[in-house]
Amino acid sequence: MFRQKIEKSTKKAKSNIILALDLPPDEPRRLLSRSLQILNSAHPYLCALKLNRQAVLPLGLFDGVQKILSRAHNLGLPTIMDAKINDIGNTNRAIAEYYYKAGFDAVICNPFVGWDEGMQPIFEVAHRMKRGVILLVYMSHKGAAEGYGQIVQDSTTKQLVPQYKIFVQRALKWNADGAVVGATYPDKIREIHALLKDKVPIYSPGIGAQGGDAEAAVNAGAQYLIVGRTIVEAKNPVKTADQIRNTAWQSLKAKNGKI
């Protein structure tokens, strides 16, 4: 369901840009009105909206956040909660259920906790509520190699492999709706895309503010680009969103042919 929703909005808007609506800390009322203002004006250039705890903490999940989600849905945009859920199964289930009940169409989770009494309850809730689960595979920040790139022993094969390759296998085995790979590491996107083979789309954050390049990320195999500060903090967020959308869409068209 989630995959179909985001594919549909991508085709409609001719955009694979997901807006990370992360505003600098401010008073909740101003945060809400600025969020709605950006959403209202930039939505034609977006395929989805992503929020994280930077928004949930000041605005409240069943308060300001729900107002943003309902506006996004009215504008035809699916919504993603970048929660990086990472606890024991019982807690994970409750967290995912709250986010889905508030209206999020998908949540981002950390596969590090494993399946049994870890990720399994989240997938169960997602299937029941017809929502999506996106897994972290290789993050966008500088220290990503310390965790996602560390060499570990695969508990099944006993071979030494980088952590992210185990996460790739989990994304495939669990039939995740997406895999997050930082745009700051196009070589990793290329390598991971070759392993995922279009079975799990790549969501790529880190464009602009973190140094990632939209064209390079798409050419390496990213399907969706997550963009925050470069749009949100631009002098003209609408124009910036349109420019990034154009670059990314042309690259996607050149790579995939007709979309």
Q: Which is nearer to ligand XMP, 97 or 233 (CB)?
A: 233
Q: Which tokens belong to 145?
A: 């190699």
60-89 burial string, b = 16+ CB within 10 Å, else e?
ebeebbbbbbebbeebbbbbbbbbbbbeeb
As annotated, the active-site residues are: 84
Q: Which is nearer to ligand XMP, 16 or 230 (CB)?
A: 230
* Token pair for 187: 């070589």
Ramachandran angles phi, psi of 18, nearest 5°: -105, 120
Shortest gap between Cβ of 208 and ligand XMP (angstroms)?
Answer: 6
207 and 217 in contact (C-beta within 8 Å)? yes
Task: Give the CA-trace dihedral at 156, 139, 213, 201, to 10 degrees.
Answer: 50
Coil, helix or strand at residue 78: coil
Nearer Cβ to ligand XMP (158/244):
244
Question: Closest-CB residue for ligand XMP?
Answer: 228
Please calculate the CA angle 209-212-214 and round it to the nearest 5 degrees.
Answer: 110
Shortest distance in whole angstroms from residue 73 CB to ligand XMP: 20
Distance, in Å, from the CA atom of 7 to the CA atom of 144, rounded to the nearest integer, reads: 29
CB of 108 to ligand XMP, least distance (A): 4
Report the nearest approach of ligand XMP to the CB of residue 87 (Å).
Answer: 16
Task: CB nearer to ligand XMP: give 169 or 210.
Answer: 210
Bridge partners, residue 178, by sequence: 134
Minimum distance of ligand XMP from residue 145's CB (angstroms): 12
| Binding positions for ligand XMP, rule: CB under 6 A | 20, 22, 52, 82, 84, 108, 136, 139-140, 180, 182, 205-210, 226-230
Query: 33 is written with which tokens?
Result: 């009105």
E strands in the chain = 17-20, 48-52, 79-85, 106-109, 132-138, 151-153, 160-162, 178-181, 202-205, 224-227
